[in-house]
């Protein structure tokens, strides 16, 4: 089905952009539209999506333990989420 969009299409494509895409756009033409909060929210969504994919049924328990222990995820996992990449062996 064909659709015609009027106005700013950014809200329609934002869901399909990676954190890296958003950051690159924020440095160029769309810098007045894309806020740090927008990028942060997208990074959080990307992290949760990858955790769900990697942990499958253990995701909820993992999050519960992380919150209980006040733990943080650091390192290459976060870097890969930011860059929208997957590295072999990490």
- The residues spanned by each domain of the chain are 9-83
State how far the Cα of 36 lies from the Cα of 60, in Å rounded to an integer: 27
The per-residue pLDDT for range 9-49, each reduced to its tens digit, is 677 777 788 888 877 776 666 667 777 788 888 889 999 99
Angstrom distance (rounded) from CA 22 to CA 35: 9
Dihedral Cα 75, 49, 82, 13, nearest 10 deg: 180
Phi-psi domain of 49 (left: phi exceeds 0; alpha: psi -120 through 50; beta: other): alpha
49-87 residue pLDDT tens: 999 999 999 999 999 999 999 999 989 999 898 888 899
- Residue 6: which region, alpha, beta or left (left: phi > 0; alpha: psi -120 to 50)? beta
Query: pLDDT confidence of 6, banded at 50, 70, 90?
Result: low
């Amino acid at each position: 089905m064909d659709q015609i969009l009027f106005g700013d299409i950014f809200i329609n494509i934002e869901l399909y952009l990676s954190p890296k895409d958003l950051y690159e756009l924020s440095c160029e033409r769309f810098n007045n539209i894309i806020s740090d909060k927008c990028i942060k929210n997208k990074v959080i969504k990307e992290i949760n999506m990858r955790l769900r994919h990697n942990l499958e049924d253990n995701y909820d328990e993992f999050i519960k333990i992380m919150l209980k222990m006040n733990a943080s995820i650091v390192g290459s996992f976060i870097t890969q989420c930011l860059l929208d990449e997957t590295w072999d062996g990490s």
